[in-house]
Chain A
Amino acid sequence: MHAFGDHKKNLSQLALAILVVALLALVPACGSDYYVSLFISIFKYTVLTVSWATFCGPTGYMSLASAAFLGSGMYVTALLGDTLPLPLIVLIGGAASLLLALVAGLASLRIRGIFFAMFTLGLSEGVKGFINWWEISKTGRQGRLVISASGTTVFYTMLIILVMALLTSYLIRRSKFGLALRSIGQEQQAAEHIGINVNAVKLITFAATSFWIGATGSIIVTQWSYVDTQVAFSVFYSFMPTVMALFGGLGNMLGWILGSVVFTILSELLLTPFPYYYMLIFGIVIVSVFLFFPSGLVGLVTRWRKA
């Protein structure tokens, strides 16, 4: 909020960000399918985490709707994949997610903490169940074939989506909107009395951040040739953004990015040597995070610095 020192810091941060994106763009050129796939995963979870945290961080809401948004995007591609060009489909996937968020948000953003969490969990499971029923009654089968796209296409699309999601988050947080969100999280009644249209601010932020989740779903599903509701709307996607954001440190964007990157790499490292025990170890890691690192990685680093 204050003048000149900020500008310099902003410029150097921007330069660093551009550098990182440029380096990332070179990854496919190094020829390893494994790394391309790994980065796609990292991008995917980072978009989920950052989108989740941009709304839920300052307001204190616990949204478990990420699975609903991601799965919607996936099914848009599954249904429209061979009739429209891919970039359009990704946008439609994002739009479907945004629409869902608007409807769900209009209905539920007035209700309190734990109820909102349960509502969004119900939403994710409900959308899953509804699409499942629809699929079975229309096609008789539970799953569906999906168009494929090359790893490189998916990589660059995800990179663009990631940059856009981070940009959206950054702009929201740095604007008066971001300040308003924090005030709503801390003292909602007072926020409303100083002229903030609380319902509108919450709804717009909730919907805007959901767009990128839907777009992500639309593109990553092209990596698999088959999708069903169990996979698309997995409860995993509902909880993981929260866990990763908390793991990294809830207070700032760097924490969210760090949390998702470290967690994704960690899960990759666990997957190869322990294909059968992988999920089990994952569960143990999640529980351990809360027992031993409640303030997240960023908190840990802060404590090391102080010591």
Chain B
Amino acid sequence: MRICEGEGVTKYFGGLAAVIDVDFYVDQGEIVGLIGPNGAGKTTFFNLISGALAPTSGVILFKGDNITGLRPYQICRRRIARTFQLVKIFPDMTVFENVVLGSLFGSHNLRGSAQEEAMEQIRFVRLLEKKDMLARDLTVANQKRVEVARALATKPELLLLDELVAGLNPAEVDEIIALTKAIRDRGITVVMIEHVMKVIMNISDRIIVLHHGEKIAEGTPSQIASSKKVIEVYLGT
């Protein structure tokens, strides 16, 4: 079943085309990888889905409803969550406060159940011992976990992960791979932007490739790995 799809999604910044006429779909329960060279428009694409930006033209549907141009908080309440390329945790709040904000405003209304939900997500990302630490005092890897826990606390059905693995060492990368799989096993559909090929090839069911704002390829990891177009784009001709 298609949980999210878009047609003709385009974004211009003045004269600069960041995303051009992209058609896409995401099936429920998939892990979709989104790759492309720097400046390909991947984060802009996420911004268009999450509501941070409104498309110049085109339509985005989620579970059949038109979500084009909605505000981010409305999109969150429809069960789409995301993380950010540059971590946007709330630095002067504890890990717990960061995550409970997600459950208080994104999914639950009562204090009690929101607190329980937050604790569960903190446990899930393995940050329980650090729950009362200020977010600014954590390592970047742990801050990313906080962001994931906070996003999960809003009980999303679709989770957009933006370069979760950037700057992590190999052991941390393996943990993220395991975490992503665990998220999918909970029934959450995942779309992830990544540069680290090991991660993308390893866990994606399908991959979409963007270049200069356009979708240039789409398919399974093995199809993408053998696509001449993709190889050209990454290695140059």
- Contact, chains A and B (beta carbon distance below 8 A): yes
Q: Which residues of A contact B (CB under 8 A)?
A: 1, 176, 179-180, 182-183, 186-187, 189-198
Chain B positions 69-88 with a Cβ under 8 Å from a chain A Cβ: 71-73, 75-77, 81-82, 84, 88
Q: How large is the interface on B (under 10, 10 to 19, 20 to 34, 35 or more residues)?
A: 20 to 34
Main secondary structure of the interface of B (DSSP, over half): helix
Q: Provide a sorted-by-A list of 21 A–B residue pairs whose CB atoms are within 8 angstroms.
A: A1-B115, A176-B101, A176-B105, A186-B90, A187-B88, A187-B89, A187-B91, A190-B88, A190-B89, A190-B147, A191-B90, A192-B73, A193-B50, A193-B76, A193-B82, A194-B81, A194-B150, A194-B151, A195-B73, A195-B107, A196-B101
Query: Are B105 and A194 interface neighbours, CB within 8 A?
Result: yes
Q: What is the CA–CA distance of A194 and B146 in the complex, to the nearest angstrom?
A: 13
Which of B81, B88, B111 has the most CB atoms of chain A within a 10 A radius of its CB?
Answer: B88
Query: Are A183 and B90 interface neighbours, CB within 8 A?
Result: yes
Cβ–Cβ < 8 Å partners of B72 in chain A: 189, 192-193
Query: Are A176 and B73 interface neighbours, CB within 8 A?
Result: no
Which of A176, A179, A195 has the most CB atoms of chain B within a 10 A radius of its CB?
Answer: A195
Q: What is the CA–CA distance of A193 and B147 in the complex, to the nearest angstrom?
A: 11
Query: Are B93 and A195 interface neighbours, CB within 8 A?
Result: no
- Min CB gap B131→A, angstroms: 11
The 5 A-B residue pairs with the shortest CB-CB distance, nearest first, are: A195-B106, A195-B105, A190-B88, A195-B76, A192-B72
Query: Are B104 and A176 interface neighbours, CB within 8 A?
Result: yes
Known contacts A1-B96, A1-B115, A189-B52: does B89 contact A194 (CB below 8 Å)?
A: no
Residue of A176, A182, A198 near B90 (CB, 8 A) is: A182
Nearest chain-B residue to A2 (Cβ)?
Answer: B115
Cβ–Cβ < 8 Å partners of A196 in chain B: 73, 101, 105
* Cβ-based interface call for B102 (8 A): yes
Query: Are A183 and B93 interface neighbours, CB within 8 A?
Result: yes
Cβ–Cβ < 8 Å partners of A194 in chain B: 73, 76, 81, 101-102, 105-106, 150-151, 153-154
Q: What is the CA–CA distance of A192 and B101 in the complex, to the nearest angstrom?
A: 11
* Cβ-based interface call for B137 (8 A): no
Residue of A176, A179, A182, A189 near B88 (CB, 8 A) is: A189
Chain B positions 24-58 with a Cβ under 8 Å from a chain A Cβ: 50-52
* Cβ-based interface call for B209 (8 A): no
* Cβ-based interface call for B7 (8 A): no
Cβ–Cβ < 8 Å partners of B76 in chain A: 192-195
Q: What is the CA–CA distance of A178 and B82 in the complex, to the nearest angstrom?
A: 23
Known contacts A1-B100, A180-B101: does B92 contact A193 (CB below 8 Å)?
A: no
Cβ–Cβ < 8 Å partners of B84 in chain A: 189-190
Known contacts A182-B90, A187-B90: does B104 contact A193 (CB below 8 Å)?
A: no
Q: What is the CA–CA distance of A281 and B77 in the complex, to the nearest angstrom?
A: 54
Q: What is the CA–CA distance of A194 and B84 in the complex, to the nearest angstrom?
A: 12
Chain B positions 119-163 with a Cβ under 8 Å from a chain A Cβ: 147, 150-151, 153-154
Q: What is the CA–CA distance of A92 and B189 in the complex, to the nearest angstrom?
A: 53
Query: Are A180 and B89 interface neighbours, CB within 8 A?
Result: no
Known contacts A196-B73, A197-B73, A198-B73: does B101 contact A191 (CB below 8 Å)?
A: yes
Q: What is the CA–CA distance of A248 and B82 in the complex, to the nearest angstrom?
A: 39
Q: What is the CA–CA distance of A195 and B115 in the complex, to the nearest angstrom?
A: 16
Nearest chain-B residue to A186 (Cβ)?
Answer: B90
* Cβ-based interface call for B97 (8 A): yes
Cβ–Cβ < 8 Å partners of B104 in chain A: 176, 179
Residue of A180, A182, A195 near B92 (CB, 8 A) is: A182
Q: What is the CA–CA distance of A193 and B72 in the complex, to the nearest angstrom?
A: 5
Known contacts A1-B115, A190-B89: does B73 contact A183 (CB below 8 Å)?
A: no
Q: What is the CA–CA distance of A180 and B105 in the complex, to the nearest angstrom?
A: 9
- Min CB gap B74→A, angstroms: 8
- Min CB gap A304→B, angstroms: 24
Cβ–Cβ < 8 Å partners of A183 in chain B: 90, 93, 101
